[in-house]
Chain A
Amino acid sequence: MLQHCRRCNVTIRNPHKSCPLCGGTLEGEWLEENRMFPDLEQSSSRFALGFRIFTFGCIAVMIAAAALNWSLGFEDFWSRYVLAGVVCTWLLTAMAVIKRRNLMKNFIWQMVLLWGVFLFWDWMTGWKGWSVDYALPGAWLAAFGSILAVIFITKPPAVHYLVYLMLLFAGSFVLLILLVLGVPQQKIPGIVSVAAGFLMLIGLLLFQGRLLLEELHKKVHL
């Protein structure tokens, strides 16, 4: 026996407490065997809540630092380091969260962001050149090592990682240009990165050349 809404003059196939159309009282019993859907709930993202808490914490630290700096007098604007530090941390964390489903893509983005962060801090602290000497090649080597580790541990099909190796090569090419222009004073870290990048490219061309070309064709199709 199905439920019925007298006001809408419709039969209700799956059991309800009230008419799903008008909210009115239904004739007939609520019968378990007539259920047509299991208990279904939209899963809520814990990441979203955690990230909001983190963002709130970041803003709180920035406001506290600025307020303390203001109350002690603005002669020495020391809180700019706190503000810049928090913004950089937030950016790196946000990228890690957004790209959490693809580790290799995450490492590439982290490397690009870290380059920006290092250059900015070097500039803000009176340009001593440590960013181009050590930090940029260091970030590249860290990304390179991390991506190789992911490839060796998870053993994904080549088509899933070729593009990230190409992007790493593009990164080492940028380091090569800096070296050619004579920007870094300390050249060894840069040279190591560029050598590793070119060695990787030659390895790819020798062992995965055809796949690499196919992958490039996919990625740049118009």
Chain B
Amino acid sequence: MKKINFYIVILTLLFVFTKCNYKLDEPVPQQSFTVDIAFNTPEGAQNAIIGVYGIIAGSTLYGESIQMASDLMGASDDFNWRGTFFAQRDLRNKNMVSDNGIATNTWITAYRAINASNSVLEKLDVITNPTDKNTARGELLFLRALCHFDLVRLYAQPWDAAGTNTGLGVPLMLVANNFNKVSRNSIAEVYAQVIQDLQNAESLLPATNNNRATSFAAKALLARVYLQQGNYTQALAKANDVISNGSYTLGSTVNAVFDGNNTPEAIFEIQQTSVNNAGQTNSGLATFYSNQNGIGRGDIEIRAEHLALYTMADARLTELFYVGTGNKPGEQACGKWKSPVKNYNIIRLAEMYLIRAEANFRNSTSTGATPLADINRIRNRAGLTNLATVTLNNILLERRVELCFEGHRLHDLKRLKQNIVILNGTTTVITTTFPYNSPKAVLPIPLREINVNSNLVQNPGY
């Protein structure tokens, strides 16, 4: 009897043990999957490309920070920061610390997007259709270049058209999952890689691509890159190519491109929906710009000095600015980023006209159209009459008001070697001035990166 009992015990235990052994191997991730599974079909690779767009559409890149960081630093004479967040306030005051949240998160997310691009670039062979494969490669190169370009503009000294540009740029990441402690490439190397990626993208991409990157988006971005370099000839060629050969037209009203999605003026936009967007409460362009009842924090208050740049008849004044009715009632707000669930425009046709006008003017050419014609085209759309003659200052002013609060101002000031100005107060206006190449107008390499990567050299002043 005793023996039998003992066997029962042993059998029970054995049963339990074996059963469990089988079970222990069972759990598999259900919301995510291993890398092998991710790339075992062409659709898998396509999903991973959408994933990269999803990353760049986030608030720390093109859903907010890339544009707003530039304007907070560069357009500090155009608006007041009325919010309580320090990271933004510091950018406007140009007294960032090296762990500034915007500088940190933008850096991290940009490299996450670059790595995600590289990860798919290395697995493209899974796409068998050659056209699809070319488009995929072109899109990934475009997205990688976009990130590298804005990183070098925000985290490094400006491109000097007359210099060698051997100063520290940002690390160029061209292979996937590189955990090494990489060093910063030179500014020149980064620009060269950006141009090379965009040139490749331009030749690989189709003219239309379902509201994603196209050959014209690559050309338009190239025009922007060349303009930043002061390479007017190339900038002109690319801008003119987009205007002449693309099927884009200026919106009938100044707000059409901001109020609608994927309008004929839009060359590249961040796609947003009510479900997937860059944020509606604490992040996203509209969160900070919008000052409407129930929408936005109204943290960006447009200064009177900016509004004074427009004439009263200018539709851009009447249609794109309004008196806030939301969180900060009574204050002037910018109407370009009113809705957090509409697309955010990244590149639009008006910028191409302005690049062509400026480049033609500087080169004394009239490729495509005269500078005067291009400027008048922009003015007419805003309900303004034609200018009779045009000067460089007319062109630059037109550029400033047309493209205001779209993230261009800082880079324009640096390119034009103009001072960066902070205006504070209303009756007694306090002016603080920084030279265009002030280290204070360059984002710090995030402290966390310096801490984990001894090969990264910090920017001066941090």
A and B: real partners? no
- Which chain A residues have a beta carbon within 8 Å of chain B's beta carbons? none
- Which chain B residues have a beta carbon within 8 Å of chain A's beta carbons? none
